[in-house]
Amino acid sequence: MAEWITVISLVVLGLIFVLIELLFIPGTTVVGILGFVSTVVGIYLSFDYFGSSTGWWFTLGSSIFFAITLYYSFKSRTWERFSLKSAMQSKVNEGLTAELKEGDEGTAVSTLKPVGKAEFDNKEYEVKSFGDYVEPGTRIKIVKIDINNILVERIQ
């Protein structure tokens, strides 16, 4: 009886790990590999404990069980409540750069290394320096505005 429990639990655990891999952790990770190894060991033990005939029946049954479980888990849309339903559509500084022009002066609000926040006319923007490390509170000016990218440099 202990052999049956061992074999069945290894195959079921493997199935659960493979489902977790497919639905929650896309890509090849340790969870998927563990699930595959657990299933293979369970099937191997069925051959070892019960012989060839029972081992093949167990392999067929496990394969069918796995296929049915996958089919119903995707068809019943059980996993939709776990999936992301919205996506970010906005962009950094989108439509805000129209108020700025080259030569405007402001202050670095955060450290620019080289990207950070700066304030121009009491509004915060994401800005980029030319690779320079700029401390917060440093006076900066806009050198170039390229679509939504604001390139700045330190005022000497």
CA angle 122, 126, 131 (to 5 degrees): 125
Per-residue pLDDT, 2: 86
Has this prediction a pTM greater than 0.75? no
Q: CA-CA distance, 59 to 63, in Å (whole number)?
A: 6
Over residues 81-102, mean pLDDT: 71
pLDDT for 94 beyond 90 = no
Q: Cα–chain-centroid distance for residue 123?
A: 32
Q: Which pair of structure tokens corresponds to residue 126?
A: 């994401």
Q: CA-CA distance, 40 to 63, in Å (whole number)?
A: 11
Q: Which pair of structure tokens corresponds to residue 79?
A: 């996993």
Task: Give the rounded percent of residues in the chain with a pLDDT score beyond 90.
Answer: 39
Per-residue pLDDT, 16: 87
